Structures are given as structure tokens and as C-alpha cells.
Structure 1
């Protein structure tokens, strides 16, 4: 299916007609582990908000070999393109990401917000109502970092993780299963540090599985905040009153996300990265069950279906070392995940949802590792 625009250059011109790339005169440098990103925008406010969001990361005044990302605050672009729908994961419905490929260049359109992204090896560009959709800008920046580490054979997992005394625990589960909530419950306790919210990368180094996160703050629903004393203050008094009137099931199903600023809530020393991974907990419990929470050690070879809770597609922004983008129908390889996870402790969590029970199990497990 061909674009009604003639070529890539014409598309870029159409995309940036309301704000030229040269207008991106506000900038700062962001360091994520060993990578440097130069973020430029035509909006000083966008740069300020992003610097605030990433305040826990080094922000050097300059650096060599920066990956350049341009963010243009404009009206939603209207491109005359025959967009294709990106296939959503199982259990997700409705239109979300749409895309169109030129040679070694991909356009991605966010159906719900009107944001448009253009990505190739030399240009990474976000155009649209960016201030209204800062979370998508954060994701775009993180996707560039994720591309780089996947080129180094880090494997993406749909999991949260936290660290305790130079070891890490991770929690995988289906969407809305509580992996962020249990991680935040553990952060309430002394000595625990934040690694990642729902994108975790693992790699074997020197016969040890290492966990690495991405610089994205936990993004959770109101029920998580309401039932965590350290987080409840993120809600206004009126929001607390409104959400307390909802049933447990209504709270669980509610899709209304809040960012948890880890530095403000827990302290600037609450971040960790590149930690040896001791255990992965697969949350296969249900808030609709009136049963005790049960945590059992498992052999993933005997329960391979549980890998679907761990595996994660790199998504439409993934571009390999040669510049080729991920195909729409690409599915994660279960054999690869089985191989990566073979040398760590795996647990399945079943029954009803009880975060206190799982938290206590985790702390006991860590105590026994000493």
C-alpha cells in the first residue's frame, strides 16, 4: 500500500510545516547509563518538564556521540497517508498505534492523541500536541534507549523490578495484574530500590543474569495510590473521596494513570540498575477470587504458557542494527525467554490478590539468600 505523499522528504516537509526543525532551539543532554541523548524542542516548557521528569539522571552540559531527538510542539499533523494498524497484544482492543514505512524510515501515528513520530537512523522526530501528551514523549525517548540496549542482546520483559542489597526481584503479569503495585509496596520498606516499572531488560553476564530498567517512573491507577500510605498524598482530597466510593472491582478496572515521582516519595537514593536477578514472580492471581494467595516455585518448562505474561514485543519503534524495523506480526520467541530464565528462581503467584502476603514472602526469600 503506497503513501499518497510522493517521498520521505515531502512527508517531513508536510509534517513540520507548522514548526520547522530549525525552530528546536531549546535543548539539554540526558545521560542514561552509557548513552547520551540530546533533546531539542521549539518549546522551552517541554524541555523544562522533561528535565524535571528525568531529574534523577545525569544531565551533562554537553557530550560527544549524542543520539539526537527533536520534539516539536504543534497542532496534530494531518498527513495524507494510508496508515496501517499496528497489531495490539492479546487482551487489548481499540485503535492505538498506526504506522507507515518508507525505506529504513517509519512513521508512527498515535490514534488517540494525534501525535506523530518519525524515526530512522539519523532523525528521531516527535510532532504534535506534545505538552498534552508528555508521557508519549517520555516513551519515545525511552524507546531510543531501548533500541540501543537491545542491539547489545538485552532481552525485553513485561515486568517490574526492585533491588535489595545488590540483588533484584522482578514481577511479571498480565496488564493490570499488580506488578507495579507489589514493587511499590516493597519500596515502602527500608533498603529497597526502584529498577523498573513495566519494561525490564535481562542479559547473562559472567554466568549471572543481570536486570536493567529504563528511566520511566511508575505509572499506576488510583487503587494503587489509595491503598499505599506513602502514595495516597499524590491524590487530591476530592480524588480520594471520589475513589473511596468505588468498589474494589471498579477501582481495579479503572484506567486513569498517575506518575509516581520516586525521588519525591522515597528519596533520590532509591534508584538502582544492572543488578543480579535472583527471582521472577509471575502474577497469575485474581482479585475476583476469595482464596489465599499461594506462591509456588515452578519449572517454566512444565508451565510454558506462563511465559506469555513475561514476553514482550519490542514494539513499532524497534529498529535493528542494520536499520530494519520490526515487522507487524513479529512475536517473541518463547525458547529465547526459557533460555534466559533457566538459572534463576521462578515463582507462580495464584489465588486471590494479597499484596501483604506476597511482600512478606519476598522479604523472607531475600533473608534466606544471605
Structure 2
């Protein structure tokens, strides 16, 4: 297997069509003084769409993204897009970073230089990494997955082929949050011989079989909080894992609709105190949205939820992850379980709790997250 260099360039006709659709947005009504209680606030969305039309420059964002070394490789009949940046320092450790939804590979771009060149950012050159950042299958510039079912287990197999067969790394580390944490989990579970360790921000359900000890009080409390979160925040996941195609028609046709669906999550899940631009600039929000739009991948990105939920799950899917695991908790309440909950599944070797940063930690607090990643993997360097 081999990879080919890749360069991002959206055709002008696609950008012109996007602008036309934005200008012609047919706005719905909204309850008076609704703010964000009913969903995405209409006043903020109008501001964002106006900025998208008048001020946002995709060509500037292309130039930034093309500053990274990007490639595509055919892996198992699927064209996978990825960034591959070499580390600066002695014996860089190979590390693959996996994003989640409604994010993209773009989320990882702030943290890449902190990991490849720590000495230039207040760190130790001995902590350097060769960093690989793929776009999930069906996301961004990776091939859509219309022709095949996609699960986290399948992605872990693809990532192993990418790292071992394409890039030649026999063993490597993995980091991820959200879907990326699930991929890292399956890398540790099904490919332990290739893993140095995994570092995660979010967690699979704990192993609760007949041999498991009863939940302690802190675990019971957390389980109740997760159920409440699913009622208040989990409608998107239920829709995407049951009827993603119905949703896809509107999101693929209306950039304003796409923005409303995604922007709400960036506000709700980040550590922004309800003010989304305390964490993300309009340019950052719109770069992520434009990646979804120009690649027409919103349907395949949410299809992953359906495929994973409806996949046949054997007992092996719930076996313990014995490779060394680092856990970093952000301020996102649904991802702050007690350590006992996590240790039911993982071989936890490092545990850290951040005082800042939410769901999109690599973008919100790249310095804090990079520090934790470097610290976790430090003892496992040869």
C-alpha cells in the first residue's frame, strides 16, 4: 500500500452555489425571547450566515490547511485522507489522533505542532511524536461510505492498516475523544500487539457482566446523570442512529440547516458558558462547516451512528482493554465518570481532570491536552 500527496481545493462553482443558497435561506419563525432553549438561536444563526456570505474567506482556510502534509491512501477499497507530520526531536513516537462528530480533522490542527515540535512550545524535545490525523471514513476528504457499512471496529482495522502497512509503524499510540475515543478503544481491544498505549477523553460503557462488582454510589450517580443527559441532549444521536437518511436530505441541501444542526453542539458541548465565541471564532466554526458542505459528507458522517448501532456485537466487543490507557476528563459533565467506572473496562495508567475545556478539547485547550498526551506516553518511550 502507498499514499499519494493530497491538496485541498474546492471548485469555485461549489463556493458560488454555497453563497447563493445562504443568501436565499428561508428563515423559520422563532418564539420570542427563546434564546437557545428551543435549539439554535435564530439571531446568532443569522449573524453567522451573514458572516459566511460577506466576510468568510474559504481560500484563506484552504491555505492554512494545505500548510500541513496531507495524503490519501487506498485502504481496504476506501480512500482515506490524512495529515502526516514528522516529529522534531530524537526518536519521535508514532501517534494517531482521531476526531469525532460534528467535528473534523480540522479540530486537531492546533495540537499537531505542540506534539511534533514540543521544544518550540515550552516542552521537551524528547516528547516528540510523528502525528497522523485521518479524516474518519465518510467525513471530510475521506471517501464516503455509501457502499459499505462502517463501525468503530472497522475503523480501528483501517487505522492499523494505515499505520502499519502504509506508513510502516509497527507499534504506535492512539488518542481520541467522542467517536475517536471509541476507535482508540477498539485499537487497544483488537490490535494490542500494535499499540504502545491509548489516550482517551470519553468512554465506552463499562463492562457490567455477571462477574462485575456492584456499582458504587458515585457510579450510580454518574449513570443517572448520563440518562438525564440522554433525555435532554441525546435526541441527535437517536435520530442519527435510527433514521439518518431522513435527516440527511435537509442538511445536505441547506447550508443554514447544516449550520443550525452542528453549531448547537459546539455551543452545548464546549466550555463556553453559553457564549460560543468565547471558544470558537466565526472563522473556525465556518471552516468546519464548510468542510462538511463542500465534501457533501454530512449523510455519511451520521450514517456511522446507524451502522455502528446496528452492527452485530459479539462478546469480544465488550472485553477488557488491557493496553496502557491514559484518561483525561474535560469539564463536560457527561464525560466525567468516576475512575472506578472507567477501570471496569480500561487498564488506567494515568488519570487527569482538566479545569478548562469541553468536548472539543484539542481545539479548546490544545496546550493542556498536549501536555497530558505527552505525560501519558512518556514512560512508554524506548
TM-score range, shorter chain: under 0.3
Task: Give TM-score scaled by structure 2 length.
Answer: 0.25
* Larger proportion of helix: 2
* Larger proportion of strand: 1
Q: Work out which structure has the larger RCO, using CA pairs closer than 8 Å and 6 or more positions apart in sequence.
A: 2
Task: Give TM-score scaled by structure 1 length.
Answer: 0.26
